[in-house]
Amino acid sequence: MGKDKLRKFAENKTFNNVIQPTRDEILSNFHYKGKWKEEFFKNDNPIIIELGCGKGEYSVGLAQHFPDKNFLGIDIKGARFWRGAKTAIEQQIKNVGFLRTQIELIEHVFSPGEVDEIWITFPDPQIKYKRTKHRLINFIFLEKYKRIMKEGGSIHLKTDSEFLHGYANGLIHGLGYTVLSSHHDIYGAPDYELPSYVREIKTFYENMFLKEGKPITYLNFKI
């Protein structure tokens, strides 16, 4: 492991906006489950989570855009979200935090109805059929999300993968969920069709894909 990763791991341990439980701690009556508002955020505002948050740009950007909501970026790679956590501390953004854990353990992290919205930004599309179970949008994961979300909560998917966008659309329609917004190219859509923050907040990967000329897709749906 490189020195830079080790430095980031060490610094994460000093951040008050980062939680890094062991797998056993997650599976054994995780302390924050059902108590995120009172124990971590210390308010009663809605909770929005970003799954596979990477460098944390979207979690931080949304937190800045919505100071009356709580945001939690979740990723197994702490060296990545170190940047978002550090930015939040430097800029004194109090309504965002980061959790290091596997997304498949999400039901052990939150109680039923504890989450208001979910964001998934530029996940690995896992195009090969045998990798279907690893897609963050699949039947199994959607069932997990449904169990932790408040009734009427929505999921946002932003990706450069037209395959994943199409797959998700088909799956959602097949399950009878409600599509609120679906765009194959957000930068080609009229301004009135999308909330401003969908285009204003960009991740490292989005900037990279835009330079390559790839269209960015967006899907928002209720489950």
Options 4, 124, 185, 191, the catalytic residue: 124
Residue 44 annotated among the catalytic residues of the structure: no
* 166, 169, 173, 174: CA torsion to nearest 10: 50
Catalytic residue positions, numbered: 124
